[in-house]
Structure 1
Amino acid sequence: MNKAIEKVIEECGSRDILAKACGVSNATVGNWLKGQGINGKHIKAISDATGGKVSTDEILQSLTED
């Protein structure tokens, strides 16, 4: 599980809210949560969805963690 995405979902309130904020499907958010990769064009939108509470750096770092 991607801990940063878990934190983002918690901050947003739900996967659906995050998906809408980023213009992706709920299934895509589920894939992010499973660690199946995040397209770079979504990194800022993900951070913005939390009002910056989860930084782009934190999201990027989570992509390299096991």
Structure 2
Amino acid sequence: TCLHVHHSLGRVIAGAICFFVFASAAHRQQAREAVAFVTDEVKARLPIFGKEVLSDATHAWKKNT
């Protein structure tokens, strides 16, 4: 059983991967549940999703969903 979480720091090019969760377990359902749990917890607790840098150099934040 193993769990890895990666989150990019700094600017991320549109369309690039900025958040990655990898899980391995004896049974695939356990791995899926672990990935879903970690993703939901990160999105609920950390304001890291959805900062959009606009063409005029300002930015806007999307709400976590």
Say which structure, 1 or 2, has more relative contact order (CA 8 Å, 6+ apart): 1
The structure whose Rg is larger is 2
With the length of structure 2 as denominator, give the TM-score of the two structures: 0.27
Question: Which has a greater percent of helix?
Answer: 1
